[in-house]
Amino acid sequence: MAARTCPQCLTVVPMGHAAAYTDKIECPGCKSTLEVSGMSRHLAIWAGLLAGLLAWRLTAGDGTFAWVVPVVLSLLAFGFVAGFATMFVADLRMRPPDPVAESSAGGGHDGGHH
C-alpha cells in the first residue's frame, strides 16, 4: 500500500494533513478517522534526530556563546526533517475510538457530606 492512503477506501490523503494532524486525520473520501502509524512516527523522529546531530557537528565552534548556534540549528533541523519525513513516509491506519468516560451510578451524588 502506498504512503498516505486510507486503508478503507484507498483515497490518498494530502501531505500536509498527514504531518499536521498525525493523531486525528479525516479521510477526504470516506470521512473515517485515521492516524499515522507508530512505525512511521519512529522513522520520522530518527530522521530528525540524525539531521539534528549532523547540524550540531557541522556548527560546533569555540567562544563564549558558541553553544547557542548548534543548539538552535539542531532544533530547527530536527523539526523540519521530522515534519518532511512524516509527509513522505506516513502510513495511515484506522484510529481506534475514543474511550467513553463512565458516569457515576449514584445519580450525580459523590457520597460526600452536605
* Per-residue model confidence as pLDDT tens digits over 35-89: 888 898 899 999 999 999 999 998 877 777 788 888 999 999 999 999 899 888 8
User: Between the CA of residue 15 and those of 71, 84, 92, what are the distances in Å?
Assistant: 28, 9, 12
**In terms of pLDDT, which residue wins out, 99 or 56?**
56
Q: Domain ranges for the chain, please list them.
A: 15-94
Q: What are phi and psi of 35, to 5 degrees?
A: -145, 160
